Amino acid sequence: VVNRVYDYFRYHPMSEITEWMNQIVKDYPALVTRVEYGMTYEKRTISLLKIGLNTGAKKYIVWMDCGIHANEWIAPAFCQYFVNQILQSYKTDAKIKRMMKNLDFYVTPVLNVDGYIYSWKDNTTRQWRKNRRPGHSPGCYGTDLDRNFDVNWGMFTPLGASFNCSSDMFCGTSPASEPEVEAVTNFIKSQRANILSFLTIHSYGQMILLPYGDPNETVHNYEGLMKLGQDAAEAIWKVRGQNYTVGATSDVLYPISGLPRDLARMQGIPFCFTFVLRDNGTFSYQLPENQIQPACEEAYSGVLHIITYAHNQIYSGAVAATAATLWTLLLAAGVTLM
């Protein structure tokens, strides 16, 4: 099977990641399907792996996207590692088995496919962050997909977004102007009642960020989400002593507009977090391959903490809850997130 030959601790170009996705589907036909849910600006398919046991019952969704920023190569590496971990431990780990029964994981290894392919072209383009839509002045390319969502779009310039198409944080010409953003937005809006947790993976800076990018908004149940984030950071610290900073994006960084995580939260999805992986400035985006394994192992521990917590809010004991809406369930569980 692929897992014996695929090296999770190297960076892989898009063609290999696509082959890997197909191989995973072949290796785990009862658990994994590939879902195509959008097209990039350059007309490439965006796809995710849907992972879970087909029980016939209603299932909640854990969303994870990687590689919205093309230069953050550790993020796609993490998504692949995550998929492999849950599939490998499914047989032996009772906790993972229960989650596979109750949840579906929707994992997009590379969201910004065009940008990721471009970032592989040579050493200098490894810095490339945005998608590849041509801008309105000659020679300027790319929209920052992570500033293009329809949440406070175009606000908090120049630090938290930019209208300059040469800027790395160019927010596009209008909210959700980019096809990649439209694809994720459609998914969130159509599945909003079923998504339990929305996780988006970035580098670098070692942070666990909760909503919002808007400094004037405080997320409901801020204390509860902070505690959850801090517990996840502690789980990360226990792996190799790495410190992760926890807080709302606007507190830890600065005000930022157009974030998918904030859209997800505003659509009522309870557990929305941004994970910003290694390192903390030494190699920055160019994290060497010998750090992929430690970075993935520690981040896995933090992510799993949040997913497990979210899962346990809904499913306690051996009996899966079947009530009508996520909110009913969460309120019944004493979670006041709204």
Which residues here bind Zn ion, judged by CB under 5 A? 69, 202
CB 231 within 8 A of CB 270: no
Q: Answer whether 89's CB lies under 8 Å from 44's CB.
A: no
Closest CB to Zn ion among residues 24, 277 = 277
The site for ligand NAG, by CB under 6 A, has a size of 14
Provide the strand spans (E) within the chain: 32-39, 45-51, 60-66, 103-108, 195-203, 207-210, 245-248, 271-277
Residue placing its CB nearer to ligand NAG in the complex, 119 or 242: 242
Nearer to ligand NAG, 280 or 284 (CB): 280
Query: How many Å apart are CA 45 and CA 181, to the nearest integer?
Result: 13
Nearer to ligand NAG, 137 or 322 (CB): 137
Q: Are 216 and 248 in contact (CB under 8 A)?
A: no
**Which residue, 89 or 280, is less far from ligand NAG as judged by CB?**
280
In the complex, least distance from residue 75 CB atom to ligand NAG, rounded to whole angstroms: 18
CB 110 within 8 A of CB 14: yes
Cβ within 8 Å of residue 297, ≥6 positions away: 239, 240
Q: Which does 69 bind (CB under 5 to 8 A by kind): Zn ion, ligand NAG, none?
A: Zn ion
Site string for ligand NAG, 151-170 (x = CB under 6 A): ----x--------x-xx---
User: Nearest 5°: phi and psi at 162?
Assistant: -145, 145
Contact positions with ligand NAG (CB under 6 A) in 225-264: 241-245
Look at residue 244 and give the partner it binds from Zn ion, ligand NAG, none, a contact being a CB closer than 5 to 8 Å depending on partner kind. ligand NAG
| List of residues contacting ligand NAG (CB under 6 A) | 123, 155, 164, 166-167, 206, 216, 241-245, 280-281
